[in-house]
Amino acid sequence: MMTIEEISMADVKEIAVMENKYMYAPYSLTVLNEMLKNPNCIGFKVVEDGVTAGYISGQTVIDEFNINNVVVKENYRRKGYATALIEKVIERCKAENIKKLYLEVAQSNEAARKLYEKMGFKFSYERKKYYGNQSALVLIKSI
């Protein structure tokens, strides 16, 4: 069974492990702790049979929401979990009267770019060499 649950400080270690394993520019435990303490931070995890399979987090900036990270563990991918996490964030944002979602994705991250495109995010602008030698694409979705 799969459920989507709000993340709390108790999840921070598990999230740090996923960050280190799967992210190009992982957040450290210290940064994650600070993020989760921020009252503007919203995050959800996807849990399958008691195991955390992935998570999403981001923060509200007035009437906008910035998605910081979406990660799904390798053996849980292509099951719609990232989609479900983003949909949950959209549902929460709508309830809080947020009008726009933002995110940054590395240009070479084809899986993530496909996912966001499928979910209706549109290219806004390029941040050159944002990740070392790689550009970041800033994507926006109005909700």
- The residue ranges that bind ligand COA (CB under 6 A) are 22-23, 69-72, 77-83, 105, 109-112, 114-115, 118
Q: Nearest approach, Cβ of 113 to ligand COA (angstroms)?
A: 8
Q: Which residues pair with 122 in a beta bridge?
A: 140
> Cα torsion for 135, 81, 140, 99, to the nearest 10°?
-150
Instruction: Look at the block and give the residue holding tokens 């394993």.
Output: 21
Q: In this complex, which beta carbon is closest to ligand COA, that of residue 33 or of residue 109?
A: 109
Nearer to ligand COA, 58 or 97 (CB): 58
CB 34, min distance to ligand COA, A? 20
CB-nearer residue toward ligand COA: 22 or 102:
22
Q: Are the CB atoms for 102 and 93 separated by under 8 Å?
A: no
Minimum CB distance to ligand COA, residue 119 (Å): 8
Quote the distance between the C-alpha of residue 131 and its chain's center.
17
Six token digits for residue 4: 């989507």
